[in-house]
């Protein structure tokens, strides 16, 4: 059987007219870049893919000790605190890893971008997708923790995929925006690690956002939910440990998620033509 090769004609204005169609046309490149990123993620490390297990496990231990024991935020009558921490750690780790990987993805593929035509959005999108591997590993650890504590999640855990999709969309929107900025302003190489480190403390990963309401009132909790990940983490905890859902924060997260998706795609498409010159 002979392979059929589709001829691609490069012409002025093609990317504007056929951009979304070209994304589908170059789907194999998306698969290749994703698989390459997965293979080189832990290359030349001594313990290899075990880092994917050790990092979330150690983070869970530290957060459980600091917030549960020292800060005394654990509820002795509630679900096991390590599971509460894991429920917040899952979306945060996915978002922060996706943002870090995507922000440098175009610069790391400078040779590819400067030589051939293809929709540049494929590069950061493939980096974000590979972050799902770490998410899957951490989710496996969460299941093991549930077995260890003999914990049965509530029925709403069936809605967890909805919140996973929300994290994926907001990671894509913010990731595209920051990736495009990083090509022109290399300052973002230093700003992104700071944002990730600072964001860990203003996001309810090691503690519940209910504590914000108890300590500062419901109005403070609403403004706290301007952080779009706050509503998503609340959703994860609602699904996994049955913590009451804060619906204003959920709808605020939906609005911010759509805004960042629109902002990321619009700015990326606007600046995409200049990537090969600036990179």
Please name the residues in contact with 185: beta carbons below 8 A apart, sequence gap of 6 or more: none
Q: How high does pLDDT run on average in the chain? A: 85
Q: What is the pLDDT of residues 40-64, one digit of tens each?
A: 776 767 676 677 788 888 888 888 8
Residues 256 and 170 sit within 8 Å (Cβ to Cβ): yes
For the chain, first and last CA: distance in Å? 41
Helices (H) and strands (E) in the chain, counts: 14, 0
Six token digits for residue 241: 């440990």
pLDDT band at 2 (very low <50, low <70, confident <90, very high): very low
- What's the confidence (pLDDT) of residue 9? 62
Instruction: Please compute the mean of the pLDDT values over residues 122-145 and round it to a whole number.
Output: 87
Give residue for tokens 């880092």: 51
- What's the confidence (pLDDT) of residue 37? 82
Give residue limits of the domains in the chain. 28-274
- What's the confidence (pLDDT) of residue 147? 94
- What's the confidence (pLDDT) of residue 64? 86
Helix, coil or strand: residue 242: coil
- What's the confidence (pLDDT) of residue 71? 78
pLDDT of 1 above 50: no
Q: Using CA atoms, how far apart are residues 123 and 23, in angstroms rounded to an integer?
A: 11
Q: What is the pLDDT of residues 84-113, one digit of tens each?
A: 988 999 999 999 989 888 888 888 888 888
pLDDT band at 163 (very low <50, low <70, confident <90, very high): very high
Instruction: Please compute the mean of the pLDDT values over residues 254-265 and round it to a whole number.
Output: 94
Smallest CA-to-CA distance from 123 within 134, 109, 135, 141 is with 109
């Amino acid at each position: 059987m002979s392979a059929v090769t589709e001829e691609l004609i490069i012409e002025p204005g093609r990317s504007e007219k056929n951009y979304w169609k070209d994304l589908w046309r170059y789907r194999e490149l998306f698969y290749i870049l994703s698989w390459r990123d997965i293979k080189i993620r832990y290359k030349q490390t001594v313990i290899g893919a075990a880092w994917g297990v050790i990092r979330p496990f150690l983070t869970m231990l530290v957060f459980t000790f600091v917030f549960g024991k020292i800060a005394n935020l654990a509820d002795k009558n509630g679900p096991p605190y390590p599971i509460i921490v894991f429920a917040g750690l899952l979306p945060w780790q996915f978002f922060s890893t996706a943002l870090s990987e995507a922000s440098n993805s175009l610069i790391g593929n400078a040779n590819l971008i400067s030589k051939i035509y293809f929709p540049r959005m494929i590069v950061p999108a493939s980096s974000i997708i590979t972050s799902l591997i770490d998410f899957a590993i951490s989710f496996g650890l969460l299941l093991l923790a549930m077995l260890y504590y003999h914990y049965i999640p509530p029925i709403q855990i069936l809605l967890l995929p909805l919140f996973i999709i929300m994290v994926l969309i907001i990671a894509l929107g913010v990731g595209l925006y920051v990736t495009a900025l990083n090509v022109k302003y290399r300052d973002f190489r230093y700003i992104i690690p700071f944002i990730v480190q600072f964001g860990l403390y203003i996001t309810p990963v090691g503690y519940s956002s209910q504590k914000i309401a108890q300590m500062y009132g419901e109005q403070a909790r609403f403004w706290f939910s301007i952080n779009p990940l706050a509503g998503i983490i609340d959703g994860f905890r609602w699904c996994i440990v049955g913590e009451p859902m804060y619906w204003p924060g959920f709808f605020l997260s939906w609005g911010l998620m759509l805004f960042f998706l629109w902002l990321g795609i619009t700015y990326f498409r606007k600046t995409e033509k200049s990537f090969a010159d600036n990179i």
